[in-house]
Copies of this chain bind each other. A is one copy, B any other.
Amino acid sequence: MLRLFRFNYSKSQTEEEGIRIGIKIKLDRKNKIAYTDEMEHITALNRTSYGHMDKGRLILTPEETLYLMDIRNARCIDDKEGTEYSFDEVAKIFYAKKLMARFFTLKDWRDRGLIIRPYSEAKRYKKWSEKKYPSEEFQLDKYKFEGLFFPEDLMTISDNMEIGKLLYDTYWFGQFGTYKAEHRGKTYKLDIYETIFLMKHSGLKTNYSKTKIMKFGKEKHKNFKSMYDVYEDWRLRGYVLKTGFKFGTHFRVYFPGARPGRKGSEWIHSKHVLHIFPKKEKMLISEWARVVRVAHSVRKTFIMAIPSARPRKMNVESDTRANKSKRKPKHIDLDFLLYHRIKGGIAMPKENNPKFLLLSLSEEEYIGGYELSNALDECKQHGLKLLLGIADRESGVTYYLVYKINLPGSRYEYYEVEWIQP
């Protein structure tokens, strides 16, 4: 069950002060600079880390300016003419791509009483963390058996009960009967990923060639190749991957050693689901978030695979070609440097380290595998965790924390994505 986040807004000391003293922001319209040069205001704003000092002036970012106007009753005055600007007018003057998404995420963070600073101030820290997953070398004998592949259903059935039983019981390939009711029916069924894997890594033969079956898969899913590659990558590390249909994802994942059936009186439950998000794809943020939501609602850890992101065994020739192609990754600018809570208070830029880098997004935007992959690169370089802040159409913000997964021996990169309420 999803719960909407609720928190109590309490005015901080500075906020009270801000309202009391009536902050006045000056606007140099020609140079598009918002600032204050009055000592009382500088002191008040400095205390909660707004802006940066430059030649005796405290320069404010457009988002800070809008926030102070919206929440702290700041007034914005033209520094030549003394005329007052409305919120809309200031937004118009500073108009830029993603201004609203950036404003809403800054507002949400500030509303939590926490400090948010420009991305440009990010240095190098040591908060990038990776989650180590177990990994083993998967060994499979060459079992010779035959199956009948159905191109329409992307499924193989086999009469070979003996090998079927062995592959099912030992490695959890395929299914008898139905999941959780394997005694209901004696037909051995393999899904298309299992079919290709067993044709490649064991002795399964079907009425079609591997290549042809791969082609059937590609006809149905444009990303089929990526999906198979990821399936194979995890299987070769000892994991069991089965359909994630009931959880709204491509696969559900069992850790090495999982066997079908019960463990004592309990069914073995998967704790992870995995979804493939190819680097070259673009996806509506709302659709991306939906996949994570379903996983969250069934209490599974969500793993995002970006399959063509930096395969470890890179072919030099194809790498060069990729660099020349139109799909060359665009550089992505992250938006903010986030300070979080610390024991007994909130982290402050002068005394504490930041915790996250924030990518500000809005529900209506698209996100690409390249962008996400590059954002993660930026975070790794800065040694900070990536937080995605997504503003919906009502300007409510939800946060997704991204962790890198360290899966020794795997060919691709994987991330855990967690819906958090910071």
Query: CB within 8 Å of B: which residues of A?
Result: 1-2, 4, 6, 9, 70-71, 86-88, 91-92, 95, 97-101, 107-108, 111, 147-148, 150, 152-155, 157-159, 175, 177-181, 183-187, 189, 191-192, 220-221, 242-243, 245-248, 250, 284, 286, 289-291, 293-294, 297-299, 362-366, 390, 392-398
B101, B148, B289, B363: which contacts A88 (Cβ < 8 A)? B148
Residues B243 and A394 in contact, CB atoms below 8 Å apart: yes
Residues B394 and A178 in contact, CB atoms below 8 Å apart: yes
Q: Which residues of B contact A150 (CB under 8 A)?
A: 91, 95, 99-100
Q: Which residues of B contact A71 (CB under 8 A)?
A: 184-185
Residues B364 and A153 in contact, CB atoms below 8 Å apart: yes
Interchain residue pairs A-B with the least CB separation, the first 9 = A297-B297, A100-B153, A248-B290, A243-B393, A191-B393, A245-B392, A70-B185, A179-B394, A175-B394
**27 pairs from A and B in contact (CB 8 Å cutoff):** A1-B298, A1-B299, A4-B246, A70-B185, A70-B187, A71-B185, A87-B186, A92-B148, A100-B153, A100-B155, A107-B184, A111-B178, A154-B362, A155-B362, A178-B396, A178-B397, A191-B394, A192-B364, A221-B364, A242-B393, A243-B363, A243-B392, A245-B392, A246-B398, A250-B286, A290-B291, A294-B294
Known: A246-B4, A294-B294. A364 touches B220 (CB 8 A): yes
Q: Which residues of B contact A101 (CB under 8 A)?
A: 153
